Amino acid sequence: MPKLTFKNPYGPGSAALTVSCARGASILDVAEEHGARVGHACGGNLACSTCHVWVTAGLDSLPEVADKENDIMDKAFDVRAESRLACQAALGEADVEVEITEESLKAWLDENPDERKKLRSTAP
């Protein structure tokens, strides 16, 4: 059973979150199940790029990027060699570590305005 680590599950400066997950689950599935803040404006239908994450470990264990994922990723900001769309990246046997992009966190907060208000009320 692979482990997935979110380096910044609740935004910048948050402690890492590591969870065991089912082989074949997408990074987005696991994020939603465990409350990590990965945006998903299109509901995982490969139409928005808001689920953009950087895979900082275990990238080679994920399925290859399909042409359609590449096309949609062109809409994302700060795309890197380790970029993936979380809704398309299914876990294999290996452990994986990801960093949620600022773009994706912002999208998540747009989808969860109450959490954005809480963040603002606790900001220094």
Which residues make up the interface to ligand FES (CB under 6 A)?
A: 40-42, 44, 46-51, 72, 85, 87
Q: Report the distance separating Cα 24 and Cα 90, nearest Å.
A: 5
- Of 72 and 96, which CB lies nearer to ligand FES in the complex structure? 72
Q: How many residues does the chain have?
A: 124
33, 51 Cβ separation under 8 angstroms: no
In the complex, least distance from residue 21 CB atom to ligand FES, rounded to whole angstroms = 17
Q: Give the nearest distance from C-beta 95 to ligand FES in angstroms.
A: 22
Which of 33, 75, 27 has its CA nearest to residue 53? Answer: 27
| Residue sitting closest to ligand FES (CB) | 87
Pick between residue 71 and residue 117 the one whose CB is nearest to ligand FES. Answer: 71
Q: What values do phi and psi take at 91, rounded to 5?
A: -75, 145
CA 99 from centre of chain: 7
What residues form DSSP beta bridges with 54? Answer: 83, 99
- Give whichever of 21 and 89 is closer to ligand FES, judged by the CB atom: 89
